[in-house]
Chain A
């Protein structure tokens, strides 16, 4: 029985349980609500909950565990002699799964019933055609061993599904009976139901933690894999990035980190002055009218997807920088360059810096400004010597947050910065030339993980090490920035 049907039956069971529980509670109170501990609907909800939660939990657990159990037992049955040469156990199991899936679609009962029976050659090639007709294309004829394994896989799966249906529905019915039995007017149904809901709420709140754990663990696991194949000193301290899928790659993070930091630096050089001055102007000088229009307009920049900035860099900013700056000065001929990506990323970061700084400048108490004005300072002197120093920690926090965004940004650099890693053996001139194409950590994560990837080779696994490094750097910047901002806020509140 498909899982969807089981769920539907459970839902029907729960609905029936709701009505039955509610009716029983009312009956036990002699039809008078005032004699009941809780509102009638809580008794019903309690029964429905007891039907659904254990049964659904079992369903999920069973569906997660069953495939790996079956696979292990099937894999044990495959003779060691069948593996080897150009195939591995993993590849073979993939074939087994596909054939089994195809057999399911064909509906095999007319074919062969006993898995042990040796199938003939013609039968197998005929089967291959039949499988092809239901969308399971196989590269070669099915080996008899694979066919047998697929048959027992299929049988085991059908078997497992049958028992799962029985077990899940059984648990549902048991839950219904148990909850129905305890239902009477004294039963504290509301407390039980509310405790259940609270548990659900807590579970949802824990998903945030689980996500972080998932991120860290998945990357740690693969990174460890990577470092078992590639020396970590080479990764962190080598100076060359030259992946080669035939092996013998140089995979060092330094050239990528250089590109990332250089582009981020240019982005901050664009975003910080513009964003900061815009924030100062809007919070200190601008008329309320201008503020209501200009502030949201600048913040629109933050809502534009990064792919749009990427295309903007590719088709507008890149060619302009090349034609009007790089080519006349003779220092570069590529449209994708550090400067292109940096400038566009800077534009993206303007609203970040400006709205955060704006909040922080507004939080500086008016009394400090009034004091400064009272001593005869002009407005700009007040801003420079009183407001900004007071707001400085917050502004530094804002800049750190912007920096973390810049370091983790992907699409702008994929489209605007180029794919060639910085080369340390070509001398300093090329390294610091902003019109040179340069690549970043994020670009390389994308390029190593897209397309055909082999999760056993260091060239692919390096992406996880890069991702973990990126995660640690941005996390560090964020924590630092949040700490500074929080500390600062407390000072004036």
Chain B
């Protein structure tokens, strides 16, 4: 390029014939363009790999193996006194129920004519989830009249058997695993053929509470979804009015002075403060200072509110700003006060934009994990929180924290659960963002 400008060095040859330098420059142009395209494709590829990896790992969490077992509720085991008094029967612990289930599996084997060498009755019972005895006990205690009869129950299969049908467990790994034996896998195959074992959609993954490390098959998201929902209610109830009020003040009323400047800089900086810092704030102020309970959705909701506020204020201000001044002037012109102008005319016109910002802010709050770890939402919670308003003070977990919790457990079945939970989380986020996009499409006005 520089030599073009040089005087006295006329260009050799025709302008229309490509010389070596033009070819080089064109090649550089093509290369540069390709780099850009590659970068875009890499970005898209990352998205695809991420989504495929999560769905590939997690889709199977929504299907689960169930075993149907005829259990004989032996009176001499469950109610020695014969009084049918639930208080007396409650003294039989779940350990008393486990042999009945094992015997039931044995019965199912006999009925289907399955014989497997080297498999004891207890071993046969091992294909049923460790959660089953508790389930059976609850059933018997609430229906003592059925004692002595044989009832067909459908239990979850144990995590390893379930893993076998999902390809996670094979005969080779089972031989090395103390939780499952190759014979049990054979039995599972045989039961499946006999129709006593089936794999079907698993609603309890979405509704059941968490389960301990030993029984991944029973772990569900019920408490976590409820906890996240409560937190979103708190965030909605606090962040919407406060955020909108703050943006109205800053956009419509604030005089241009030092204090307003400080508030504005503050808000844009708060939006970029690492989320974990808000966790520290919540721990120090809401739990240690104000004495609110740990693991409660109210604390999580408060922390997420503080975190979400700037992210709601910024789009709300943009929405207010987008309302043309002519609207304000017209309202003032017919005698409305400043406050009436804002609340009767500007705010309704800005509402769709504010709502869009709010939904996106809520979406970010829903997926936030780090601050919740610090305020004790990682606790193992099996009880559902009670309905609001009391429920927001009860211990609960949150969806993203439950995912984190499952990744920290040793059983590989929990990786499947965690990925499945992420699918649930992403579906929620997808719904929220689609709503926001639709709202924008439907109501956005260009002035």
Contacts and interface: CB of A to CB of B under 8 A. Distances in A.
B33 A208 contact: no
B374 A446 contact: yes
Contact of B272 (A285, A401, A450): A401
A312 B54 contact: yes
Interface string B1-41: 10010000000000000000000011011011101111110
B219 interface: no
Contact of A411 (B246, B280, B313, B370): B370
B369 A307 contact: yes
A281 B33 contact: yes
Interface stretch (B79-87, B115-123, B159-167, B263-271): B263-271
A408 B273 CA distance: 8
Contact of A450 (B44, B263, B373): B373
A201 B249 contact: yes
A19 B39 CA distance: 66
B99 interface: no
A474 B276 CA distance: 12
Contact of B418 (A202, A206, A311): A311
Contacts of B407: 310-311, 314, 415
Interface string A374-387: 00111111011000
B284 interface: yes
B433 interface: yes
B88 interface: no
A274 interface: yes
A475 interface: yes
B363 A442 contact: no
B309 A207 contact: yes
A457 to B, nearest CB: 14
Contacts of B272: 401, 404-405, 474, 478
Contacts of B33: 281, 285, 379-380
A383 B366 CA distance: 40
Contacts of A405: 272
Nearest to A39: B340
Contacts of A48: none
A459 interface: no
Contacts, number: 257
Interface string B370-402: 100110101000000000000000000000100
Q: Which of under 10, 10 to 19, 20 to 34, or 35 or more describes the interface residues of A? A: 35 or more
What secondary structure prevails in chain A residues at the interface with B?
Answer: helix
A204 B242 contact: yes
Given A209-B263, A280-B36, A219 B280 contact: yes
Nearest to A97: B291
A306 B278 CA distance: 16
A405 B49 CA distance: 23
A410 B370 CA distance: 6
B29 A379 contact: yes
A471 interface: yes
What secondary structure prevails in chain B residues at the interface with A?
Answer: helix
A203 B263 CA distance: 12
A354 interface: yes
B267 A474 contact: no
A202 B281 contact: no
Given A215-B273, A308-B54, A446 B29 contact: no
B50 A218 contact: no
A202 B373 contact: no
A198 interface: yes
A29 interface: no
A338 to B, nearest CB: 19
Which of A301, A310, A350, A381: most chain B Cβ within 10 A? Answer: A310
Contact of A308 (B26, B283, B426): B426
A139 interface: no
B370 A442 contact: yes
A347 B46 contact: yes
Contacts of B426: 304, 308
Interface in B263-306: 263, 265-270, 272-281, 283-285, 288-289, 306
A386 B363 CA distance: 39
A212 interface: yes
A422 B333 CA distance: 68
B273 A471 contact: yes
Nearest to B416: A315
B253 interface: yes
Interface in A222-262: 222
A376 to B, nearest CB: 7
Given A201-B246, A219-B284, A467 B276 contact: yes
A359 interface: no
Contacts of A303: 363-364, 429, 433
Contact of B263 (A205, A297, A347): A205
Contact of B370 (A278, A297, A446): A446
Given A312-B53, A479-B269, A286 B1 contact: no
Contacts of A274: 39, 42-43
A475 to B, nearest CB: 6
A409 interface: yes
A300 interface: yes
Given A208-B246, A294-B40, A307-B400, A277 B368 contact: no
Contact of A311 (B245, B248, B262, B422): B422
A298 B281 contact: no
Contacts of B400: 305, 307
Given A206-B263, A222-B284, 18 more contacts: A194-B337, A198-B339, A201-B246, A208-B266, A218-B285, A219-B280, A277-B36, A278-B43, A282-B36, A303-B364, A305-B369, A307-B403, A315-B57, A407-B274, A411-B370, A414-B404, A415-B404, A474-B274
8 tightest A-B CB contacts, nearest first: A408-B274, A305-B367, A281-B36, A277-B39, A218-B284, A204-B245, A380-B32, A410-B370
9 contacts: A298-B40, A308-B50, A379-B29, A380-B32, A381-B29, A409-B274, A411-B370, A450-B378, A471-B274
